[in-house]
Amino acid sequence: MKHTLTIGITDCSKYDNYKAWILAADASINIIKLSYQLNNLDLLASCDGIILSGGEDVFPTFYGKPEYLDILDTNQMDEKRDDFELKVIEQSLQAGKPILGICRGLQIANVYFGGTLVPDIPTVIGSELHNKIEGKDQRHQVELVEGSLINTITGQQHGTINSAHHQSAQQIGEGLVVTGYADNNIVEAIEWKDPASKPWLLLVQWHPERISDDEYFSLAIREAFLASC
């Protein structure tokens, strides 16, 4: 009898986009919304894989940069969400569950492993290529490291992705390696430095759930994630 997959997706304002993206692959998949508001960390045990969704900035005290509070909007943060999702990551790794991190998901995972974040790309790096314009995603090039997981999944070394973020990974967390870059060296993909005997992990800065007609940078990622689950 075929096992019905259960995928946990962390809650965010655009949660339904992630849910629809997964169900478009297989409508029989069971989706669990993981949220501190629902206080349902216990349901993680029944999940075959986890998607860390996008959304608010990570509270900078979680990566040792409280001074960033002076330049960031605390209305765009949620400490309780950060704390909850750090526990999701910890327990998922302990249980060997596959993790796909998307946008903020990449950032909170990098923070979990001891990494830091660029607080504001336009201010620190001087690039306006990554944040939304009039509410719409931008598009830009990405370069992938040959032989990496993301390169193997997509079959591509470069391509065009969507972009809707003003923060990015800076110092990379312990045990991780950058395998995708934008033209200005902004981090676009992170994975294990040495994946041997570790659960499946892929972190991407773009939004594959919003380019669901893209064969390489959306559909192939979804397929690989679900296969790992």
**Number of neighbouring beta carbons within 10 Å of residue 184:** 12
Which candidate in 85, 103, 188, 191 is catalytic? Answer: 103
pLDDT value for 165: 67
In the sheet with 49-52, reading across from the earlier edge strand, the strands are 30-34, 6-10, 49-52, 99-102, 201-204, 187-192, 176-182, 138-144, 158-163
pLDDT value for 3: 85
CA end-to-end distance (rounded Å), the chain:
16
How far apart are alpha carbons 171 and 117 in whole angstroms?
Answer: 7
Choosing among 3.40.50.880, 3.40.50.300, 1.10.150.120, 3.40.50.460, the CATH entry for 6-228 is 3.40.50.880
Contacts of 156 (CB under 8 A, 6+ apart): 144, 216, 217
pTM of whole model > 0.75? yes
166 noted as active-site residue? no
Please report which helix (H) or strand (E) contains residue 85, including its range.
helix 79-94
CA angle 34, 201, 161 (to 5 degrees): 90
pLDDT value for 120: 83
158 noted as active-site residue? no
User: Cβ distance 101 to 200 under 8 Å?
Assistant: no
How far apart are alpha carbons 36 and 81 in whole angstroms?
Answer: 6
The pair of structure tokens assigned to 196 is 């041997």
pLDDT value for 90: 98
User: Cβ distance 15 to 23 under 8 Å?
Assistant: no
pLDDT value for 126: 54
pLDDT per 10-residue tile (average), the chain, 229 residues: 90 97 97 98 98 96 94 92 98 98 97 94 61 63 96 96 85 98 90 97 95 93 98
How far apart are alpha carbons 37 and 6 in whole angstroms?
Answer: 20
3 noted as active-site residue? no
Indicate the SS3 state at residue 122. Answer: helix
Which candidate in 56, 143, 188, 209 is catalytic? Answer: 209
User: Cβ distance 104 to 56 under 8 Å?
Assistant: yes
The pair of structure tokens assigned to 9 is 């997706």
